[in-house]
Amino acid sequence: MRYNAGEFDVAVIGAGHAGIEAALVCARMGLKTLCATINLDAVGNLPCNPSIGGTAKGHLVRELDALGGEMGRAADHTCIQFRMLNRSKGPAVYSPRAQADRAAYRLYMKNALECCENLSLKQAEIVEILTREENGKKAVDGVVTHIGAIYKVKAAIVCTGTYLKSKIIIGDVQYESGPDGLFPANKLTDCLCKLGLPLVRFKTGTPARVNARSVDFSVMELQEGDKEQVRFSFDESIQTKNTAVCYLTHTNEETHKIIRENLHRSPLYSGQIKGVGVRYCPSIEDKVVRFADKERHPLFMEPMGLGTQEMYVQGLSSSMPEDVQMRIIRSVKGLENVEVMRPAYAIEYDCVDPTALYPTLETKLISGLYGAGQFNGTSGYEEAAVQGFMAGVNAACKILGRDSVIIDRSQAYIGTLIDDLVTKGTNEPYRMMTSRSEYRLILRQDNADIRMSEIGHSLGLISDERHERVLKKYETVEGERERLEKTNIPPSAKLSKLLEEKNSAPVTTGIKLADLVRRPELKYDELKIIDPDRPELSDEIREQVEISVKYEGYIRRQTAQAEQFKKTESRRIPEDIDYTKINVLRLEARQKLQKIRPANIGQASRISGVSPADIAALMIWIEQRRK
The answer on pLDDT for 271 being more than 90 is no
The answer to whether 527 and 516 are in contact (CB under 8 A) is: yes
Residue 169, strand partner residues? 174, 346
Residue 231 to residue 239: CA distance in whole angstroms: 8
Question: What single-letter amino acid sits at 363?
Answer: T
Average pLDDT of the segment spanning 517-540: 93
The answer to whether 354 and 364 are in contact (CB under 8 A) is: no
The answer to whether 444 and 58 are in contact (CB under 8 A) is: no
Average pLDDT of the segment spanning 518-534: 93
Question: What single-letter amino acid sits at 291?
Answer: F
Q: How far apart are the first and last CA of the chain?
A: 58
Burial of 176 (0-12, 13-18, 19+ CB in 10 A): exposed
The answer on pLDDT for 31 being more than 90 is yes
Residue 552 to residue 217: CA distance in whole angstroms: 45
Supply the DSSP string of 14-53, one letter for each residue. Answer: --SHHHHHHHHHHHHTT--EEEEES-GGGTT---S-SEEE
**Cα dihedral 458, 460, 462, 464 sign:** positive
Q: At what angle do helices 381-400 and 71-78 cross, to 10 degrees?
A: 140
If residue 96 lies in a helix (H) or strand (E), which one and from where to where? Answer: strand 95-100
CA distances to 485, 487, 489, 496, 524 from 509, in Å: 16, 13, 9, 11, 20
Lay out the sheet containing 33-37: strands in order across.
119-123, 33-37, 10-13, 155-158, 369-371
Each residue's pLDDT tens digit, 504-524: 999 989 999 999 999 999 999
Average pLDDT of the segment spanning 92-100: 96
The pLDDT confidence band at residue 280, using thresholds 50, 70 and 90, is low
Q: Which residues contact 138 (CB under 8 A, 6 or more apart)?
A: 131, 132, 195, 365, 366, 367
Question: What single-letter amino acid sits at 205?
Answer: G
Residue 572, strand partner residues? 600
Burial of 401 (0-12, 13-18, 19+ CB in 10 A): exposed
Phi, psi of 210 (to 5 degrees): -130, 165
Average pLDDT, the chain: 94
Each residue's pLDDT tens digit, 129-178: 999 999 889 999 999 999 999 999 999 999 999 999 999 999 999 999 99
DSSP state of 603: H
The structure's pTM equals: 0.94
Question: What single-letter amino acid sits at 40?
Answer: L
Each residue's pLDDT tens digit, 205-249: 899 999 999 999 999 999 999 999 999 999 988 999 999 999 999
pLDDT on residue 267: 86
**Cα dihedral 283, 285, 286, 288 sign:** positive
Question: Which domains, from first to last, does the chain contain?
Answer: 3-204+349-457 (3.50.50.60), 205-347 (2.40.30.260), 464-562 (1.10.10.1800), 571-626 (1.10.150.570)
The answer on pLDDT for 566 being more than 90 is no
The CA angle 577-582-583, to the nearest 5 degrees, is 170
pLDDT on residue 275: 66
Question: What single-letter amino acid sits at 296?
Answer: R
pLDDT on residue 60: 98
Residue 357 to residue 366: CA distance in whole angstroms: 10
Residue 40 to residue 550: CA distance in whole angstroms: 49
Q: How does 253-287 read in b/e, with b if 16+ C-beta sit within 10 Å?
A: eebbebbeebeebbbbeeebbebbbbeebbbbbbb
Closest by Cα among 215, 206, 238, 176 to 38: 176
Residue 370 to residue 418: CA distance in whole angstroms: 13
Q: Which stretch of 399-403, 513-517, 603-607 has the lowest confidence by average pLDDT?
A: 603-607
The answer to whether 61 and 55 are in contact (CB under 8 A) is: no
Residue 21 to residue 91: CA distance in whole angstroms: 28
DSSP state of 118: T
Phi, psi of 269 (to 5 degrees): -105, -15
Residue 33, strand partner residues? 10, 119
CA dihedral defined by 523, 529, 530, 532, rounded to 10 degrees? 120
Each residue's pLDDT tens digit, 49-84: 899 999 999 999 999 999 999 999 999 999 999 999
Q: Is 105 helix (H, G, I), strand (E, B) or coil?
A: helix
